[in-house]
Amino acid sequence: MPHTTPAQQPPIRCALPHLKRIAADEQAIAQEELNQYVAEQAQAIAPTTDFLTSRDRHIISEIIQIEPESIRTLWIEGGITVWVQLVDGGRLAFERDWFASRVAEVKVTLPETPRERNERLSEELETACQKYGLTHGEVDWLSFSTTLYVNRQRIGFLGCNLQGQWYSRQSQLGGSRTAVDIDAAIALLGVRETVAA
């Protein structure tokens, strides 16, 4: 193998333009990945989750005087400001306490939803059970009825009909008797409030 001197060696071509192009391509790819990540994170924290019911939209629309379908979502910022996001991209800001009082005013004018009814009746049932030392079985939420027990012994059935009247009966197939309130319905089962000695 012949020995070559540095002057005889072929010139080294600079690959720098190629390296610059590779670096620029990699930077563009990295920038695109960063942009995609930022967009995903913004979407993840953006208040776009649709948790509002049609009733919620109706209440908000009554307050701000727009069509319910125009409301996308709402959120509270800093515990002070209520933001209403509109479908067209607009946003409206309201002071939280003012907005809450207006919601309460509008809610009073609307009929009770089945869920609100069940929550109210459930609270009445729990209060009465504590008052009389009773327990109850699983509640049938569609008809709002349940079985009542004293010391694990079934004493009868209790419920509230669609007219808002409490009723009770002693056996599964027996006739129901309506009452003016839950206390009277429980009394029809022969249960009296325990008196501390």
Q: What is the DSSP string of 52-101?
A: --HHHHHHHHHHHTS-GGGEEEEEEETTTEEEEEETTS-EEEEEHHHHHH
For 128-157, what is the mean pLDDT?
94
Q: How many CA atoms lie within 13 A of 94 on its CB side?
A: 18
pTM (2 decimals)?
0.53
How much is the pLDDT for 196?
57
How much is the pLDDT for 42?
47
CA distance 60 to 80: 17
Residue 12 in this model has a pLDDT that exceeds 90:
no
Which residues have C-beta within 8 Å of that of residue 57, sequence separation ≥ 6? 68, 69, 71
Crossing angle of helices 96-109 and 54-64, in 10° steps, is 110
Query: What three-state secondary structure class fits 145?
Result: strand
Residue 24 in this model has a pLDDT that exceeds 60:
yes
CA distance 109 to 100: 15
